[in-house]
Amino acid sequence: MHWNRIPEPMTVTHEQSSGPQRRAVVVCNGEAPTRDLLLQKWSAVDLRVAADGGGNTLAALGLSPDVVVGDLDSLSPEVRKSLPPEAIYHVPEQDTNDADKAIHHCLEQGMTEVHLFGADGGRADQFLANLEVMLRYSREARLVLWSSRERMEFIHDSWQETLAPETVVSLLPIFGPVQSVVTSGLAYPLEGRHLIPGQPPSGVSNQVTDETVRISCESGALLLCVQHTPNGVSPVFSR
């Protein structure tokens, strides 16, 4: 099934949203995003980063990053030669993966939002590792992982968005208990419930019923998954 439009939040409120927003795109070396999906973000950000072999993905899509960051064991020699030397940022240490290196670089450059592509495909262990990386930095910036099916981010404290009716939303406590979850604007509201890995209640496959969705929790990190819809709102960032 092919979705023509990827819904971008019309309104979003969370703890990283105060002050001027500086946005980055990071393309990783996993499942390649569609060119249409990537282009919806490409021209609306301040920094475009390839995480090592993500540079190969961009080259295949006819795009060039501002910088390639990583240990550079996956970047093809041909793509490396096509880029100026100042666009290559070699980080040889092996304690972190390339997505981590790329996100860290974005934060060093003052980015407040980082949108990741190609971080969900390929191997399941690498996908889970990338979620761990997102969790690590999720209090320092808004991190959103995009796929052809959905987008994901971690919620701490409170979150609010305007979403299209019937959008499918899931709330997952995958890295530990999340205390006192409260939601509004969803078909199955949570009213101070604790979400604990491996125990009910399930936060999977809820559905938007009101224009504004609000989610809050007292502690923990809640993984939010928002499915794309066939007729989402304009995907272009408001500047």
pLDDT tens digits, 24-51: 999 999 888 888 889 989 989 999 999 9
pLDDT of residue 235: 40
pLDDT of residue 94: 86
Strand, helix or coil for residue 142: strand
Kindly state the percentage of the chain with pLDDT values over 90. 75
Please list the residues that pair with 80 across neighbouring strands: none
Mean pLDDT across the stretch 178-198?
Answer: 95
Residues near 114 by beta carbon (within 8 Å), at least 6 away in sequence? 23, 24, 25, 26, 103, 106, 107, 137, 141, 142, 143, 144
Q: Which domains does the chain have, with CATH numbers?
A: 20-148 (3.40.50.10240), 158-227 (2.60.120.320)
Residues near 85 by beta carbon (within 8 Å), at least 6 away in sequence? none
pLDDT per residue as tens digits for the range 99-121: 999 999 999 999 999 999 999 86
Kindly state the percentage of the chain with pLDDT values over 70. 88
Between helices 124-137 and 98-108, what is the axis angle to 10°? 20
Alpha-carbon 101 to chain mean position: 15
Please list the residues that pair with 225 across neighbouring strands: 152, 170
- Among candidate residues 176, 107, 172, the one with its CA nearest the CA of residue 143: 107
